[in-house]
Amino acid sequence: MERILEGTNVEKNNILDAPFVKEMVEVTSNLYRLGWDERNGGNITYLLDEEEVANYLDINNVLRNIPMDFDGTPLKGKYFIVTGSGKYFKNVVTDPAMNLGVIRVAADGQSVDLLWGYTDGGVPTSELPAHLMSHIARLEVDPENRVVMHCHASHLLAMTFSHELTSKAITRTLWEMCTECLVVFPEGVQVLPWLIPGSNEIGEATAEKMKESRLILWSYHGIYGAGKTMDETFGLIETAEKAAEIYTYVCAQGGIRQTISDENFKALAEQFGVKPNPEFF
């Protein structure tokens, strides 16, 4: 059961002016505009520094404590701004306070403290455990990782129905569709079979793959992306989705007849100083 906690009242800057709130408003609007997050079909978690939160909120004033079915102890004390469960991305721009929340993983690791948002009594996305598992995994690889983003990018989703469904095959096709892809995601894309969304099983499987790649394709469902910034994470998914769109056009035009070679890819990697996953050659 949620419990109401009391704190102190300290006057702060308007949180609606906070850069992290503005970023969430902008990116959720773009995801909805592009058709990648219909209805409530997506979620974002954004790791924040205590100092930046404290500029806008009294961090001692906990509005509610919300249990979660996951042990988030490795992240206790960490702050996040998170999209809400059942919230439509199209509505974030008109009412950020109802559709977003700023939370802190509580000391018990089994719950989160709500510091702002979810004004209608809402809670964080049902996929919060999957996100937090991915944050834990990515922070082990890259301490600067701050964003985990899930959406239903249309062409990537479509590929899981028609394309050979392995990480190597999907990655190779995406790399071949746009020259920039190998530069943007040299580690490739990891592919998961269909699993029940919102479950700890899919969260654990995603987190394990996050140790290898920042892009995880959920078969027949959507994609997970991770990055240091909101722009980087959005751009990562955007680049892969553009390649999947080109692949759709190529298939409609009769299929692939010529493409970038391994030698081309190696020269490209050398030019831009990236190290492609050798398993995908």
Active site residues: 127
Q: Is 152 annotated as a binding residue?
A: yes
Q: What CA–CA distance (Å, rounded) separates 31 from 224?
A: 13
Q: Which two tokens stand for residue 28?
A: 């959720």
113, 104, 114, 87: which is closest to 25 by C-alpha?
87
Q: Is 163 annotated as a binding residue?
A: no
Q: Is 221 annotated as a binding residue?
A: yes
Q: Write the secondary structure of the chain as one string of H (helix), E (strand) and C (coil).
A: CCECCCCCCCCCCCHHHCHHHHHHHHHHHHHHHCCCCCCCCCEEEEEECHHHHHCCCCCCCCCEEEECCCCCHHHCCCEEEEEECCCCHHHCCCCHHHHEEEEEECCCCCEEEEEEECCCCCCECCCHHHHHHHHHHHHHHCCCCCEEEEECCHHHHHHHHHCCCCHHHHHHHHHHHCCHHHHHCCCCCEEECCCCCCCHHHHHHHHHHHCCCCEEEECCCEEEEEECCHHHHHHHHHHHHHHHHHHHHHHHCCCCCCCCCHHHHHHHHHHHCCCCCHHHC
Q: Which two tokens stand for residue 108?
A: 């018990």
Q: Judge contact between 15 and 57, C-beta under 8 A.
A: yes
User: Annotated binding site, which residues?
Assistant: 150, 152, 221
User: Annotated binding site for Zn(2+), which residues?
Assistant: 150, 152, 221
